[in-house]
């Protein structure tokens, strides 16, 4: 009896639920696809706009997964990655896609909605001859490439696109990447040489450079060649496939060489630091043993070469091409048909601009003048950060002072005064303007002090037994200075041209 009562109650409850949920047959109609919807459901504003005069909705254009090949000159942009606070390469490309009606504005605001990804991330000022984007867009648009490029600046170009598999990700599917660094050859001039545009690189120097670059080939822990990564972390281990320096060539009276590196992946400042330490070794600022120290867990001071000459040459998709490029459905990502346009763009907007900027602004020469401030040895993280902060502020003040000229052979040349800050750790400065002259007193403590008669000093330097150096300098204009340098019992006279 109880069982029958329970069954009856269950049936009543089910009938009540079905009545509440399902609309009546009179309140339901079918749409064009045969799907039912309530009559009282109002059409959205977008659906109303899409209604034609005949009352039919236009056919919806399908989004397709594609790989889009782009090239750009990174000068004036804060890298490629999307950033709403500053101007970036991807910001410009997304704006162009919206104007071309390839994507809606909401996809530009939230790129994850169209599975957006980049193959390689480039930093501020770094260019790319070929970089790849993967995303879902509407491609059924006449003259699509021409329309996209018409909304882009001249230094950014879309070369072409290919239909890909639905799960294609240009970053994860990338096997390895090739970068190029265009470098003036005077960066490798020995320290004893006066660096000018007239320097020419010999075959022996090219061989020495290639020998040092070969030290990085293989799998190593590159924690010292980036920031905020510990030696114990798995991501610190990277694989370099090849690293070579090509034959030098002359452009507008200045000699350049192209350094090419191919690796599985690279970290922030990774390539620039490998090239920076190579330049320091070949010039004679440090020994080859610094590379051996950099593989160890301790933090080592490694200089970072300027980003001006760095350029992403291309990402490689050998495994994808082998698996899908010959299936008859998907195209291979080798971009053979676009090579002529790519080479023309590289020469006109990237390579020529890099070499012209270097020749006009002497970015590498200025960097060489600051190279002497690195210790090329194990340093404490806190000490390294404090030292870097002090150097940046000091260099900033030096650039603002018109009486200071930065040269790569001697570092800082003061027209009317000079202080030697090599290997300095602690400095204190006092100024006295009561008599109309500026007098600064700097105490420099150093573990080792070398007696180098080739260095030019504009101030009297007294070297004590405790390796404490006291430098007194006065602001004297339009005079040659003759200084007496006392080292133990030896006294030398050093003449400095103001």
Of 118 and 383, which is predicted with more confidence? 118
pLDDT classification of 273: cutoffs 50, 70, 90: very high
- pLDDT tens-digit series, residues 154-186: 999 999 999 999 999 999 999 999 999 999 999
3-class DSSP assignment, residue 89: helix
Q: Chain-centre distance of CA 371, in angstroms? A: 20
**Predicted confidence band at 22 (pLDDT cuts at 50, 70, 90)?**
very low
Q: Are 290 and 300 in contact (CB under 8 A)?
A: yes
Residues in contact with 438: Cβ distance below 8 Å, sequence separation at least 6, in sequence order:
431, 432, 474, 475
Q: What end-to-end distance do the CA atoms of the chain give, in Å?
A: 116
Cβ atoms of 246 and 258 within 8 Å: the answer is: yes
**H helices of 285-430, where?**
289-294, 318-324, 339-345, 352-361, 363-370, 381-400
Q: Give the dihedral sign, CA 222/224/226/227.
A: positive
pLDDT bracket for residue 493 (50, 70, 90): very low
Pairing of strands 481-487, 460-463: parallel
- The pLDDT value recorded for residue 326 is 86
Residues 124 and 307: beta-carbon distance below 8 Å: yes
According to DSSP, the residues that pair with 163 across neighbouring strands are: 66
pLDDT, greater one: 61 or 79: 79
Q: Which string of b and e fits 99-130 if b means at least 16 CB within 10 Å?
A: ebebbeeebbeebeebbbbbbbebeebbbbbb
Quote the pLDDT of residue 25: 43
Report CA 463 to chain centroid distance, whole Å.
Answer: 43
Position 13 scores a pLDDT of 77
Cα–Cα distance measured from residue 314 to residue 179, given in angstroms and rounded to the nearest whole number: 7
Q: Both tokens of residue 342?
A: 């790519």
Question: Is residue 282 left, alpha or beta, with left meaning phi > 0 and alpha meaning psi from -120 to 50?
Answer: alpha
For the cut 50, the answer to whether the pLDDT of residue 470 exceeds it is no
Beta bridge partners of 378: 300
Task: Tell me: pLDDT of 37 over 70.
Answer: no
- 326-374 pLDDT tens trace: 888 899 999 999 999 999 999 999 999 999 999 999 999 999 999 989 9
Q: Which residues does the annotation mark as catalytic?
A: 123
What is the gyration radius of the CA atoms in the chain, in angstroms? Answer: 32
- Residue 281 tokens read as 């070794």
Residues 59, 36: Cα–Cα separation, whole Å: 20
More confident residue, 6 or 441: 6
Q: Which of 220, 200, 219, 275 is nearest to 244 (CA)?
A: 275
386 backbone dihedrals φ, ψ, rounded to 5°: -65, -40
pLDDT cut 90: percent of the chain above it: 59
The DSSP call for residue 175 is -
Q: pLDDT band at residue 292, thresholds of 50, 70 and 90? A: very high
- Cβ neighbours of residue 32 under 8 Å, at least 6 residues apart? 56, 57
- What is the per-residue pLDDT for 130? 97
């Amino acid at each position: 009896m109880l069982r029958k009562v329970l069954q009856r109650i269950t049936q009543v409850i089910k009938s009540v639920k079905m009545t509440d949920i399902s609309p009546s047959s009179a309140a339901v109609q079918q749409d064009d696809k045969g799907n039912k919807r309530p009559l009282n459901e109002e059409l959205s504003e977008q659906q109303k706009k899409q209604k034609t005069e005949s009352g039919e909705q236009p056919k919806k254009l399908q989004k397709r997964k594609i790989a889009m090949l782009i090239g750009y000159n990174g000068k004036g942009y804060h890298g490629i990655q999307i950033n709403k606070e500053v101007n970036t390469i991807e910001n410009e490309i997304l704006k162009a896609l919206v104007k071309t009606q390839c994507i809606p504005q909401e996809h530009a605001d939230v790129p994850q909605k169209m599975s957006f990804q980049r193959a390689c991330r480039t930093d501020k000022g770094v260019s790319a001859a070929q970089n790849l984007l993967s995303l879902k867009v509407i491609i059924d648009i006449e003259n699509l490439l021409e329309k996209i490029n018409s909304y882009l600046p001249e230094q950014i170009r879309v070369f072409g696109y290919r239909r890909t598999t639905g799960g294609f990700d240009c970053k994860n599917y990338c096997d390895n990447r090739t970068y190029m660094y265009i470098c003036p050859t005077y960066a490798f001039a020995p320290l004893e040489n006066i660096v000018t545009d007239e320097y020419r690189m010999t075959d022996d120097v090219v061989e020495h450079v290639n020998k040092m670059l070969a030290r990085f080939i293989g799998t190593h822990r590159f924690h010292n060649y980036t920031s905020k990564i510990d030696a114990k972390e798995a991501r610190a281990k990277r694989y370099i496939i090849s690293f070579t320096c090509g034959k030098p060539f002359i452009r507008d009276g200045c000699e350049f060489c192209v350094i090419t590196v191919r690796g599985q992946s690279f970290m922030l400042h990774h390539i620039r630091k490998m090239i920076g330490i190579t330049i320091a070794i070949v010039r004679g600022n440090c020994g080859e043993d610094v590379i051996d120290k950099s593989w160890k867990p301790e933090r080592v001071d490694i200089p970072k070469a300027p980003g001006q000459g760095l350029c992403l040459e291309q990402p490689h998709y050998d495994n994808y091409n082998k698996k899908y490029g010959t299936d008859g459905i998907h195209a291979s990502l080798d971009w053979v048909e676009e090579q002529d346009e790519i080479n023309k763009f590289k020469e006109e907007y990237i390579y020529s601009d890099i070499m012209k900027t270097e020749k006009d602004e002497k970015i590498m020469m200025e960097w060489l003048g600051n190279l002497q401030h690195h210790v090329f040895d194990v340093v404490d993280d806190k000490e390294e950060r404090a030292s870097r902060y002090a150097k940046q502020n000091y260099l900033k003040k030096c650039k603002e002072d018109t009486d200071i000229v930065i040269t790569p052979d001697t570092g800082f040349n003061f027209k009317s005064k000079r202080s030697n800050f090599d290997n300095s750790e602690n400095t204190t400065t006092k100024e006295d303007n009561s008599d109309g002259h500026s007098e600064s007193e700097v105490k420099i403590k150093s573990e080792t002090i070398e007696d180098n008669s080739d260095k030019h000093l504009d101030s009297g330097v007294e070297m004590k037994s405790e390796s404490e150096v006291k430098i007194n300098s006065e602001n004297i204009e339009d005079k040659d200075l003759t200084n007496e340098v006392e080292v133990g019992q030896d006294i030398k006279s050093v003449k400095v041209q103001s």
